[in-house]
Chain A
């Protein structure tokens, strides 16, 4: 008999846990997600950093401190196994006042304690050699070479694909409505689509982790959303080579200036605490964006003209009561494991969180885990026209002429890339065709024109491949349909 595991939430934490648990032959793993695709919650909108591990105080936040540095090391391996787009470009924490060096020394000391390698203080000369366009007020910095950047949703997608290839069952668009507990043991998960039996339930529900915990009768923590807003600029705007942080204040790590992995200058986030019930409040605000602009300008004075922006967005971080990650098997409900409050550095920590959960299953639940004889650690990235040479394009065209046809002109995404993306969506169980699912897999619609030329073409391809009418294709799930019907629908009066 296999032990049935239900993971609630297919974000970076849930997907990573699914992947790690897929190694064991005596587990049957179900990954449950209310959104139509994976990674659309907290994982979607953040600074996309693999942090160094110097920032988390091991006294105050022991779990964060431990898992961040461990996660950083694991990512170095996972990005290779899973072909996740990434760059290891290091971070500079920039001092502009003499007092800042006291804080940098503290971070250096803490980093050493947490086991962060190769950190050091660089002086002004070296700093400007590294980043010539930095503010002239900079007087030195802490250099953390192990910091990197990844595509967070591509990472969740890659991990999920690998988990599914290793036998994990996904349940997308499946909202959890209850946790069945009998005699102090979990029995399964009630969803809008029916009951999913489970011996172990892992709550990786991000912003909703408090609500899911309450369904199991656990109410000692609350998750409140902390909003962060960002600007992304066109790819002809110069950005830094490394990740730039200001010297942190007691309140915040500060507004980051970075060139994200697709080559766009990105600035953000600010931090605005929202009440616990505003878990869907992803609206950008002028005040917030203004705050980010002013903050970024202090590090990077040559911000481009504002009309060079290609997108502004906001993300929510799940701030738990107490501030540290809550990763534990709950004693009063056997089989219920919380993976809650996975705020920054959650993306960095995710692989380590996953191994921690496997450890909890062994240690605290006493379930012996037997490794599969055949477990595939590898996953191939989908083809991207923009990484191909023209010679490679001509090779790909022999397989399918669609690889030679460009759909997204700003980012050079081919129809072949998009068709692969749609195949991969189906592979992990995406039921509702969404432009965003294609966007996160291919980068189509994320360039200079923000999709005004290619979105209609993508809609056509999704409609064809999913066998639905084009107006029923959504932007980002049900309720965000591209149209209301065919063009005569209003005149017929049946809209």
Chain B
């Protein structure tokens, strides 16, 4: 069952060296655990080193940083603490040998190893949806990139992908790439958004005005044509039910199509060991220690749910690390009557899913549709919170006190007109 390869032994293995994984490894080390961090890239930081724009760290460090700055702060702390880490180390398999014995098999230029650990923190991030997944047909030519791939090409490898750009999706990544292309002298001809409202944070939607970039709301890109390289893309208008309006098609000439159509948590390896997945978040179902349905397997960051701020990602990493400490000390997270968190009106997704009531908790949630003058309510405990505006793009984070949680058997979170 186990390969004959060198064996390593740790308390905790952290999979993924992005902000969630680094924050988790740092916290685990601070708590006195023997921890190993594994990352597949040649460097730590995950996706942050290519996010050269500012906007990171306002909550976590209380100052505004760029992606590389945020990553290097964490990396510096990690090194100061003497956290063991390996880069260019790709995890091939996680085995759940028993509740207190996990085996992580990884490969690296230095060899393939099996790591035996008591707990695992999975912080492997997310992947981007690609053109095929969103139903774009036509020619399979050069010039079609996900936003992240374009960012890698430009800001890690110094390659300019193209000069006339159409961007699918007005989420933060799409908008930031629109600015990035404009700053390097490319003509961003359109940002095309399926929904009737922009998908990104307000501060990023401003980019479109600043750089005079046309935004097509309630539109979608359906086809790409070109010989060798993208030459034009076909756009069509959709009605309020997102159905295409016949006759509304038009073509935009462009040499580059950027797909920014959302992220999907990378959890295939967790599914293989039976971790229960929440279809709404795409990530695991977790308790308030961020432990999954498989004891001793914890999750943080975009593998848990797609976050909009790196600050929350790092916070989740720390929380997961604290969970592993408790797990290891007590031989498991004590079973109890968990308070279930349920989605009410206009709540598309929410995590964590089960609360203990022995501690304060942050709930992370997203709404289904934008609304103004709303109240976020939890009727069971008579809690309410007024909000001027909610948008699917902006994750809501609310704090519940332990004593509030203990008052109910379940909590329904809803966002309703105030």
Contact = CB atoms under 8 A, between A and B. Distances in A.
Contacts of A485: 159-160
A481 B159 CA distance: 11
A449 B131 CA distance: 10
Nearest to A470: B159
B127 A449 contact: yes
A48 interface: no
B141 A452 contact: no
B140 interface: yes
Contacts of A450: 130-132
Contacts of B388: none
B133 A309 contact: yes
A324 B225 CA distance: 33
B130 A483 contact: no
Contact of B111 (A283, A404, A448, A491): A404
Interface in B130-178: 130-135, 137-142, 145-146, 148-149, 152-163
Contacts of B228: 476-480
Given A485-B160, A487-B184, A456 B227 contact: no
A460 B157 contact: yes
Interface string B37-61: 0001000000000000000000000
B4 interface: yes
A311 B156 CA distance: 27
A483 B140 contact: no
A280 B141 CA distance: 12
A393 B161 contact: no
A483 B109 contact: no
A455 B112 CA distance: 24
B404 interface: no
B162 A483 contact: yes
Given A311-B132, A491-B184, A482 B137 contact: no
B115 interface: no
Contacts of A489: 160
A404 B268 contact: no
Interface stretch (A167-175, A255-263, A394-402): A394-402
Q: Which of A455, A490, A491 has the most CB of B within 10 A?
A: A490
A453 B90 CA distance: 13
B407 interface: no
B259 to A, nearest CB: 9
A405 B142 contact: no
Nearest to B138: A283
Contacts of A471: 159-160
B137 A289 contact: yes
B3 A452 contact: no
B109 A490 contact: no
Interface residues of B, number: 58
Interface in B207-248: 222-223, 225, 227-229
A2 interface: no
A7 B228 CA distance: 26
B140 A479 contact: no
B32 interface: no
B396 interface: no
A409 B110 CA distance: 18
Contacts of B140: 282, 284, 313
A490 B228 CA distance: 21
B117 interface: no
Contact of A391 (B5, B148, B229): B5
Contact of A449 (B40, B110, B128): B128
B127 A448 contact: yes
Given A449-B130, A456-B157, A479-B227, A390 B163 contact: no
A486 interface: yes
B110 A487 contact: no
Q: Which of A285, A475, A477 has the most CB of B within 10 A?
A: A475
A456 B127 contact: no
Interface string B81-119: 000000010101000000000000101111110100000
Nearest to A475: B142
Interface in A443-484: 448-453, 455-456, 459-460, 470-471, 474-484
Contacts of B3: 389-391
Contacts of A251: none
B163 A495 contact: yes
Contact of A312 (B4, B137, B154): B137
Contact of A456 (B107, B137, B149, B162): B149
B417 to A, nearest CB: 32
B130 A482 contact: no
B110 A404 contact: yes
B186 interface: yes
Nearest to A397: B111
A389 B4 CA distance: 10
A397 B109 contact: yes
B225 A486 contact: no
Contact of B149 (A283, A313, A452, A495): A452
A129 interface: no
Contacts of A406: 40, 90, 107
Contacts of B369: none
Contacts of A451: 149
A404 B107 CA distance: 6
Contact of B268 (A236, A284, A385): A236
Contact of B109 (A236, A404, A491): A404
Given A474-B142, A475-B142, A452 B153 contact: no
Contact of A284 (B90, B111, B138, B184): B138
B271 interface: yes
Nearest to A489: B160
A370 interface: no
Contacts of B127: 448-449, 452-453
Given A404-B111, A476-B142, A490 B185 contact: yes
A183 interface: no
A488 B155 CA distance: 11
Nearest to B137: A284
Contacts of B129: 307
Given A404-B111, A452-B149, A481 B88 contact: no
Nearest to B134: A307
Contacts of A488: 160, 184
A217 B131 CA distance: 45
A374 interface: no
Contacts of B255: 484
Interface in A382-422: 385, 389-391, 393-394, 397, 401-402, 404-406, 409, 412, 414
A205 to B, nearest CB: 20
A484 B163 CA distance: 8
Nearest to A451: B149
A435 B132 CA distance: 18
A456 B156 contact: yes
A78 to B, nearest CB: 29
A310 interface: yes
Contacts of A405: 88, 90, 107-109
Contacts of B133: 307, 309-310
Contact of B146 (A401, A452, A490): A452
B235 to A, nearest CB: 14
A472 to B, nearest CB: 10
Nearest to A450: B130
B160 A483 contact: yes
A60 B228 CA distance: 39
Contact of B5 (A394, A402, A495): A394
Contacts of B139: 282-283
A394 B112 contact: yes
Interface of A: 236, 280, 282-286, 289, 306-307, 309-313, 385, 389-391, 393-394, 397, 401-402, 404-406, 409, 412, 414, 448-453, 455-456, 459-460, 470-471, 474-491, 493, 495
The 3 closest A-B pairs by CB, nearest first: A479-B228, A490-B185, A401-B109
Given A455-B149, A483-B159, 15 more contacts: A284-B137, A284-B140, A309-B132, A309-B133, A404-B111, A409-B40, A449-B127, A449-B128, A452-B130, A459-B153, A470-B159, A479-B227, A479-B229, A482-B161, A483-B161
